[in-house]
Amino acid sequence: MIRPILTFPDPVLKQKAAPVTVITDEVRQLAQDMAETMYDAPGVGLAAPQVGVLQRLIVIDVAAKDEAPQLITVINPVIVQCEGEVYEEEGCLSVPDFSANVRRYETVVVKGLSLDGQERVWQADGLLAIAFQHEIDHLEGTLFVDRLSPLKRELFIKKARKRSNP
């Protein structure tokens, strides 16, 4: 089921998500709905708070459009190691019509649970590393615009206000 994606300035997007304590059928259904929603949008990642659920669950697929899907679903993801630095353009399904360069780690190691409850570790670089960091930020109530300089953030807020009050 495709779920509505919350957009800035919805206050849910600024709240911290709670850990998933038990992997239930509802959690598995949420993950499936999130994947369908992400692919439909289309995007490369989605965090549960973006669909109004304050749980620590993310889905990511950075495969090129002409490649087979490579869906990654992570429950309670945590970055356990990071190095390097990149400065790349990012956008967000919850921040439509706006993108900006954001400073991120170049490589990350992420630990979390799969849908069957097994602990997994992902080593990521490039777009996958950026997507992990971006989606984990959502679980902390952080949007990519929060990582911009005060001037760029203010420009974004002015643009967002104009869009919502034409």
Report yes or no: 125 and 88 within 8 Å, Cβ to Cβ.
no
> Which residue of the set 67, 119, 135, 140 is catalytic?
135
Q: CB burial class (10 A; 0-12, 13-18, 19+) of residue 110?
A: buried
The three-state secondary structure class of 31 is helix
Does 135 qualify as catalytic in the annotation? Answer: yes
Q: How is residue 23 annotated by DSSP?
A: -
The tokens of 78 are what?
A: 């945590």
Report the catalytic residues.
135
